[in-house]
């Protein structure tokens, strides 16, 4: 079976699973709840007060998609990605379909690549869904307040960004957040090739990510901070500075590509040499 056809099969299987849509729905619901809270309560700081980015969001709901992605990145999006990636191979093994799937003219490498494409498609789809839903929620619940020139003071440097610049920077944030999940996906996929339980694979990936997050916050571990996969997850904020500070963004992308390369190579080695008994 050709890779394109096999990838199509995996994407169709992913789309037909109710939990896929439940996961995306929950990811989208959280930013909506937060926007409703910010828009209706008096506990949030007024526009122009409080943290710079939060102040900018409260002044213009068009910024809310970036803020919403910032809300789901630390915990909720990685959980969803780990669940999907952890189920990729281990789910087939647990259901007893992996052996029969490989009996067909499907190479292990092609199957692994197709599974990876499905996980990446889920990640990108979830990011796009969160951004679109949060844009609607932000503009409706927080409003938009452009100035007389049609620009909006949105950058963290205090300068004005045109609607076109705001759109480009929001798209960059979406791309960066998607890339930031590469390490998560590769890690859970590797564990999925090692165990027959998708739950174990997902929990193993999350455990290592929690450990990385804890180590990032420890001064005693400063020597390895730049090697941890969660180190630059929030560097997307620099995309809203003027001029954009690319240093941490670039480091974050290279970090994820490095982790993804190593972990996917390990996943390939594990899967292609594994004895399939289920």
Omega prior to 201 cis, within 30 of 0: no
Residue 251 CA, distance from chain mean position? 17
Kindly indicate the confidence band of residue 95, based on its pLDDT and cuts at 50, 70 and 90: confident
Residue bearing tokens 């670039």: 250
Mean pLDDT of the 104-109 span: 76
What confidence category does residue 118 fall into, taking pLDDT thresholds of 50, 70 and 90? very high
The answer to whether 58 and 164 have CB atoms below 8 angstroms apart is no
Q: How confident is the model at residue 50 (pLDDT cuts 50, 70, 90)?
A: very low
CB neighbours of 216 closer than 8 A, spacing ≥ 6? Answer: 225, 228, 230, 231
Q: Is the pLDDT of residue 146 over 80?
A: no
| Residue bearing the bigger pLDDT, 188 or 100 | 188
User: Sorting pLDDT into bands at 50, 70 and 90, what band is 152?
Assistant: low
What's the whole-number average pLDDT of the chain? 87
- Asked if residues 111 and 102 have their Cβ atoms less than 8 Å apart, the reply is yes
Q: Name the residue among 104, 107, 116, 99 with its Cα closest to residue 275.
A: 99
Please give the Cα distance from 112 to 1 (Å, whole number): 13
Mean pLDDT of 242-251: 92
Mean pLDDT of 26-49: 77
Grade residue 278 by pLDDT with cuts at 50, 70 and 90. low
Is residue 53 pLDDT above 80, yes or no? no
* Tens digit of each residue's pLDDT (9 = 90 or more) over 66-92: 889 999 999 999 999 999 999 999 998
pLDDT higher than 70, residue 28: yes
What residues form DSSP beta bridges with 161? 152
CB of 216 closer than 8 Å to CB of 231: yes
Please compute the mean of the pLDDT values over residues 113-120 and round it to a whole number.
95
Instruction: Please state the φ and ψ torsions of residue 2, each to the nearest 5 degrees.
Output: -70, 155
Task: Report how far residue 105's alpha carbon sits from residue 102's, in angstroms, rounded to the nearest whole number.
Answer: 7
Beta carbons of 69 and 177 less than 8 angstroms apart: yes
C-alpha separations of 1 from 5, 10, 34, 104, 201 in Å: 7, 12, 45, 8, 27
User: What pLDDT is attached to residue 150?
Assistant: 47
Instruction: Name, in order, each residue with C-beta under 8 angstroms of 146's C-beta and a sequence gap of 6 or more.
Output: 60, 152, 163
- The partner residues of 153 in beta bridges, in order of sequence, read 160
Q: How many C-beta atoms lie closer than 10 Å to residue 31's C-beta?
A: 25
Tell me the pTM. 0.89
Query: Which residues, in sequence order, are CB contacts of 195 under 8 Å at separation 6+?
Result: 90, 201, 204
Q: What does the pLDDT read at residue 132? A: 96
How many other CB atoms are there within 10 angstroms of residue 164's CB atom? 8
Q: What is the mean pLDDT of residues 250-267?
A: 96
């Amino acid at each position: 079976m050709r890779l394109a056809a096999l990838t199509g099969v995996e994407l169709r299987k992913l789309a037909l699973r109710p939990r896929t849509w439940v996961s995306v729905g929950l990811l989208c619901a959280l930013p909506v709840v937060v926007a409703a809270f910010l828009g209706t309560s008096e506990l949030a700081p007024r526009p122009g007060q409080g943290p710079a980015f939060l102040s900018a969001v409260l002044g213009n709901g068009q910024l809310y998609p970036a803020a919403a992605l910032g809300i789901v990145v630390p915990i909720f999006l990685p959980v969803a990605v780990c669940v999907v990636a952890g189920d990729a191979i281990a789910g087939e093994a647990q259901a007893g379909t992996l052996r029969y799937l490989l009996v067909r003219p499907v190479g292990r490498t092609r199957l692994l690549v197709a599974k990876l494409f499905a996980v990446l498609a889920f990640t990108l789809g979830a990011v796009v869904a969160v951004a679109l839903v949060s844009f609607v929620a932000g503009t409706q619940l927080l409003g938009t307040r452009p100035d007389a020139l049609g620009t909006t003071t949105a950058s963290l440097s205090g300068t004005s960004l045109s609607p076109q610049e705001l759109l480009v920077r929001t798209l960059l944030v979406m791309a960066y957040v998607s890339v930031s999940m590469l390490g998560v996906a590769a890690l859970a996929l590797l564990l999925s090739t090692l165990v027959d339980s998708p739950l174990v694979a997902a929990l193993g990936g999350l455990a290592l990510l929690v450990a990385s997050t804890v180590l990032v916050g420890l001064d005693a571990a400063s020597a390895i901070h730049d090697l941890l996969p969660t180190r630059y997850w929030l560097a997307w904020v620099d995309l809203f500075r003027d001029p954009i500070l690319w240093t941490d963004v670039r480091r974050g992308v290279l970090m994820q590509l490095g982790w993804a390369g190593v972990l996917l190579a390990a996943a390939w080695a594990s899967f292609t040499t594994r004895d399939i008994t289920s």
